[in-house]
């Protein structure tokens, strides 16, 4: 009995993983593992209704990815999201490009070109946008100081975080924190 790997677009958080697991259970499709952007099924593709699964996933905002380059881009995105949001689960890489190359088994230059071609921005810019969205989230929660947020997200200093935050949002972190309407973007729309 063979396994089958699916790649799913727009999976950006643990709740997404739970939603996909619920769909698989509902459709009685046994799986081995579900993680951001990826599902490993315990049966070959021929043994389940792929169209029905595609529809169920689409109904909750997910999309099956069959193009290999798009799969690679989604894997880059999920690796970045995991690294930023769950650093304790990964070795904190000294050099991100080397880490990404090792994780995905591809040359970083190749990964960078594919990502830029498909997304219209660089991997580095995407990573900055993800970090800033997480900073916004942490500022809204108001549980950590700015220096604790800088440390948690591996910024070299509070000044570096503040400068990057202002460059991306147009606001200093303290001004953002004081705003009544705090604008945040969905992770799958970055």
pLDDT for position 189 = 57
Same-domain check for residues 72 and 56: no
Could you list the residue range(s) of the whole structural domain that residue 44 is in?
4-65
Same-domain check for residues 183 and 160: yes
pLDDT for position 184 = 62
Total-model pTM: 0.75
Predicted confidence (pLDDT) per residue in 9-52, tens digit? 988 888 999 999 999 999 999 999 999 899 999 988 888 888 99
Contact by Cβ (8 Å): 71, 65: yes
Question: pLDDT-derived band of residue 94, with 50, 70 and 90 as boundaries?
Answer: low
pLDDT for position 131 = 95
Q: Where residue 86 sits, what CATH number does that domain have?
A: 1.10.10.60
Average pLDDT, the chain: 90
Output the six-digit token pair for 87.
Answer: 């650093």
CA–CA distance, 147 with 114 (Å, rounded to integer): 35
Q: What is the mean pLDDT of residues 120-139?
A: 95
Predicted confidence (pLDDT) per residue in 52-78, tens digit? 999 999 999 999 998 999 999 999 999
Q: How many domains does the chain have?
A: 2
The candidate with the shortest Cα–Cα distance to 7, out of 81, 84, 91, 66, is 66
Side-chain half-sphere exposure of 189, counting CA atoms within 13 A: 5
Same-domain check for residues 123 and 78: yes
pLDDT for position 186 = 59
Same-domain check for residues 72 and 60: no
Higher pLDDT, 124 or 3: 124
Side-chain half-sphere exposure of 185, counting CA atoms within 13 A: 12
Q: Is the pLDDT of residue 183 over 80?
A: no
Same-domain check for residues 142 and 129: yes
Same-domain check for residues 133 and 168: yes
Same-domain check for residues 30 and 79: no
CA–CA distance, 134 with 116 (Å, rounded to integer): 22
Same-domain check for residues 31 and 102: no
Same-domain check for residues 175 and 114: yes
């Amino acid at each position: 009995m063979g396994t089958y790997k699916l790649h799913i677009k727009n999976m950006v958080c643990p709740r997404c993983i739970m939603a996909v697991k619920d769909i698989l259970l509902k459709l009685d499709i046994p799986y081995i593992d579900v993680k951001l952007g990826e599902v490993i099924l315990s049966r070959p593709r021929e043994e389940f209704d792929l169209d029905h699964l595609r529809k169920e996933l689409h109904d909750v905002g997910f999309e099956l990815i069959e193009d290999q380059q798009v799969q690679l881009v989604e894997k880059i995105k999920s690796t970045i999201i995991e690294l930023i949001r769950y650093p304790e689960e990964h070795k904190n890489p000294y050099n991100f490009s080397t880490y990404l190359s090792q994780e995905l088994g591809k040359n970083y230059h190749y990964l960078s070109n594919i990502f830029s071609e498909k997304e219209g921005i660089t991997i580095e810019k995407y990573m900055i946008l993800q970090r800033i969205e997480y900073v916004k989230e942490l500022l809204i929660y108001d549980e950590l100081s700015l220096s604790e947020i800088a440390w948690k997200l591996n910024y070299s200093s509070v000044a570096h975080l503040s400068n990057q935050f202002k460059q991306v949002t147009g606001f200093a972190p303290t001004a953002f924190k004081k705003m009544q309407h705090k604008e945040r973007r969905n992770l799958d729309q970055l």
